[in-house]
Chain A
Amino acid sequence: MEIGAIEDYPPAAAEDRHSFERLGYEAGLVIPLASGNEVLGSLSYLCSDQPVHWDGHRLARLRLIAEIFGAALARQHAEDALVGSEVLKTAILGSLASGVAVLDREGRVIAMNERWSSLARDSGLEWANTSIGADLLARARTAGTREAERVVEGSLAVLSGELLRCVVPHTAATAQGPRFWVMSIHPLDRPEGGAVMTSAEITERKRAELDAQAARAELAHMARVATLGELASSFAHQLNQPLTAIVANAQAGRRMLASGDRSGEVPTVLEDIAADGLRAGTVILRLREMLRKDDPQPVSIDVAALVQDVAGLVANDALIREVNVRLSLPPTPLTVRGDRIQLQQAMLNVLMNAFEAVAEGTDGRLVEVDAHATGGHGVLIEVSDTGPGLPVPATRIFEAFYTTKTWGWVWACRSSGRSWRRTADPSVPPTIRGAAPS
């Protein structure tokens, strides 16, 4: 803005003119101090004794001075911003509950917070207890532990862009019990690349997860015990049969020996006794397996054989309840991968529910089980009964402890990725379907 004399002020700037006059200025020049498109301030030249003609030469030199001042001001602002940014970054890193270490693309530490070092010490990962400038990945390589190897592999994959994220859990035994940490590695979002590593202790959460897992396992075990209680009669019958044969054979064998074993049948009698003993042992083994409290063990399971096994388990119950059980199974194995006990328990529960569903009818108490492969995607097991059908909404049967019975429990099963659902067609008998991936 150029003011050569007081009269140069336009009428619209009367107030500014008045101020100019009051201060005793005759002429003035104001040049903005800019950096790019940003105005950082202004440089003013004021003359109080006479009007000034701001010619081009004078203006050029004064603009040059303004540029120099503008550049210096811009540099100062940039430095102030940088310091402010560093202060903010340090404050943020220092405030985090997690440990943070920032790496450049070579794996050297370019920033970290105090929490990173303290967590490294607490978790026993001494290779991670380092300082800015250190080659963290080189230190991890020398550690020789499986976790350190995984951190190196994951970091390299993140730095190269192969992975978007890597998580490495770590457990340490302490006098107070195991403690759990997790280290996450993410890409650093800047053109030069790099990675951000965070470390956090998750002991409380992990213990809660383990407690919940143990509670679920205990509940599943209680469910198996409850079901086996309902099948006590079946198990007793299954044991009684071989025991009856053993007793009768032993008594017959004794008589044969007393009479000189003229028929030569005693060896056969003994073989039969041994076979029935093993048969009884198998029943007890099956009982023990169902009462087992182990963690789920995924193995290959022949679903057709398992269905026949479970049908055999409940055969006596079916007999007592006068329920016909019809199995439609292929002659070849139907293989899936899963926990045998869980699948067995689920099958058992569904069959027992079906038996109870048909109990009130007097004619045609029928439960049908159909198992078949589903075109490469697994095995489908369908259990239909001639009972009154499922309540609406049928999905409620999957709620824990939901029952329409006036006594006992209804157990349905949804676990390990397998789902059990009712058919939608009301014209067909109520059907529970389970799909097990192969």
Chain B
Amino acid sequence: MTDVATVFVVDDDHSVRRSLARLLKSVGYRVESFASAADFLAGARGSVPACALIDVRMPDRSGFDLFQELQERCPGLPVIFITGHGDIAMSERAIKGGASDFLVKPVDESVLLAAVERALASSGARLMSGGGG
């Protein structure tokens, strides 16, 4: 385990991953980036506090599918959805499903950082695979 809060960024777009990671690191967070749901499940290491910033639309497996699996494998890991296709129905689905927040791209740093803070505050998660922290 580590005291440094970790944010997992899962987005298939390289530039988005890199820029979000950079922004979050500039605030002092530890960031691990993944290009797909499969990469995340295989490579993420358990950490507390932690939260995941997950893109909704990804090839192979959507963010919602990943969230469903995380709720079984890693209950308590707060998930913030981020998407360029935000609509009311999608945000309702996300929040009612248990997501911590639902953000629309491009996202302002104050909104993003506030969402991450809230998510980390509720974090008690430990990933049940991919090694311990």
Within 8 A of A (CB), among B15-49: 15-16, 18-20, 22-23, 25-27
Shortest C-beta distance, A262 to chain B (Å), equals 11
A240 to B62, CA, bound (A): 18
Shortest C-beta distance, B32 to chain A (Å), equals 16
Known interface pairs A247-B108, A255-B27. Does A241 touch B57 (Cβ–Cβ under 8 Å)? no
Inside 8 A of A247's CB, which chain B residues have their CB? 19, 106-109
Inside 8 A of B109's CB, which chain A residues have their CB? 247-248, 251-252
Known interface pairs A251-B109, A272-B18. Does A241 touch B23 (Cβ–Cβ under 8 Å)? no
**B23:A319 contact, CB within 8 angstroms:** no
A350 within 8 A of B: no
Inside 8 A of B18's CB, which chain A residues have their CB? 245, 272
Question: Which of B15, B25, B27, B109 gathers most chain A CB within 10 Å?
Answer: B15
A306 within 8 A of B: no
Known interface pairs A251-B23, A256-B26, A316-B57. Does A242 touch B15 (Cβ–Cβ under 8 Å)? yes
Known interface pairs A236-B84, A252-B26. Does A245 touch B57 (Cβ–Cβ under 8 Å)? no
**B22:A249 contact, CB within 8 angstroms:** yes
- From A245, A252, A255, A269, B16 is in contact (CB under 8 Å) with A245
A315 to B60, CA, bound (A): 12
Closest residue of B by beta carbon distance from A248: B19
Closest residue of B by beta carbon distance from A247: B106
A237 to B106, CA, bound (A): 10
Within 8 A of B (CB), among A240-293: 240-249, 251-252, 255-256, 259, 265, 269, 272, 275-276, 279
Known interface pairs A237-B84, A256-B26. Does A243 touch B19 (Cβ–Cβ under 8 Å)? no
A320 within 8 A of B: yes
A345 to B60, CA, bound (A): 27
**B57:A248 contact, CB within 8 angstroms:** no
A interface majority secondary structure: helix
**B15:A276 contact, CB within 8 angstroms:** yes
**A243:B106 contact, CB within 8 angstroms:** yes
Closest residue of A by beta carbon distance from B57: A319
Inside 8 A of A233's CB, which chain B residues have their CB? 85
**B22:A240 contact, CB within 8 angstroms:** no
A275 to B13, CA, bound (A): 14
Known interface pairs A251-B109, A275-B15, A316-B57. Does A244 touch B23 (Cβ–Cβ under 8 Å)? no
A252 to B109, CA, bound (A): 9
B133 within 8 A of A: no
Q: How many residues of A contact B (CB 8 A)?
A: 28
B59 within 8 A of A: yes
Closest residue of B by beta carbon distance from A249: B19
B73 within 8 A of A: no
Inside 8 A of A245's CB, which chain B residues have their CB? 13, 15-16, 18-19
Shortest C-beta distance, A39 to chain B (Å), equals 99
Known interface pairs A244-B105, A244-B106, A319-B59. Does A279 touch B15 (Cβ–Cβ under 8 Å)? yes
- From B20, B23, B58, B106, A240 is in contact (CB under 8 Å) with B106
A243 to B105, CA, bound (A): 8
A259 to B26, CA, bound (A): 9
Known interface pairs A233-B85, A244-B16. Does A320 touch B26 (Cβ–Cβ under 8 Å)? no
**B19:A320 contact, CB within 8 angstroms:** no
Shortest C-beta distance, A316 to chain B (Å), equals 7
Closest residue of B by beta carbon distance from A318: B59
Inside 8 A of A265's CB, which chain B residues have their CB? 22
**B84:A240 contact, CB within 8 angstroms:** yes
Question: Which of A237, A244, A320 gathers most chain B CB within 10 Å?
Answer: A244
| Apart from A237-B84, A241-B84, A259-B26, 8 more pairs, CB < 8 Å | A243-B105, A244-B19, A245-B13, A246-B19, A248-B109, A251-B23, A251-B108, A315-B59
- Ranked nearest first, the 5 interchain pairs of A and B with the lowest CB-CB distance are A240-B84, A248-B19, A245-B15, A252-B23, A251-B109
A-B contact pairs, 26 of them (CB 8 A): A237-B57, A237-B84, A240-B84, A240-B106, A241-B16, A244-B13, A244-B16, A244-B105, A244-B106, A246-B106, A247-B19, A247-B107, A248-B20, A248-B23, A248-B107, A248-B109, A248-B112, A252-B22, A256-B26, A265-B22, A269-B22, A272-B19, A275-B15, A279-B15, A315-B59, A319-B57
